[in-house]
Amino acid sequence: MSADKIVRMANQIALFMETKPHAEGVAGLAGHINDFWEPRMRREFFTLVDAGGAGFRPLVLEAAPSIRRPVAEPAS
């Protein structure tokens, strides 16, 4: 999945969660990604966050520590 798509999807979730009380929005965003994004998507998400998080809404970056990091893919 492209980096642009990961950013767009995370930001769409953030836009919805920004309508909720702040703490609920942070928890809801992290919960949604934890529940519905497969490890490959979360791995790409953290590659982008670790590179500075360019393009992500602030709520996404605030929720990032509560999102489960997938284990590294085994080497082939």
36-60 pLDDT, tens digit per residue, is 999 999 999 999 999 999 999 999 9
In a domain, 72, yes or no: no
In a domain, 10, yes or no: yes
Q: pLDDT band at 76, cuts 50/70/90?
A: low
- DSSP structure class, residue 53: -
Domain total of the chain: 1
In a domain, 7, yes or no: yes
CA distance 57 to 62: 9
Please answer whether residues 14 and 45 qualify as being in contact, where contact means their C-beta atoms are separated by less than 8 angstroms.
no
pTM for the full model?
Answer: 0.91
**Which residues constitute the domain of residue 9?**
3-66
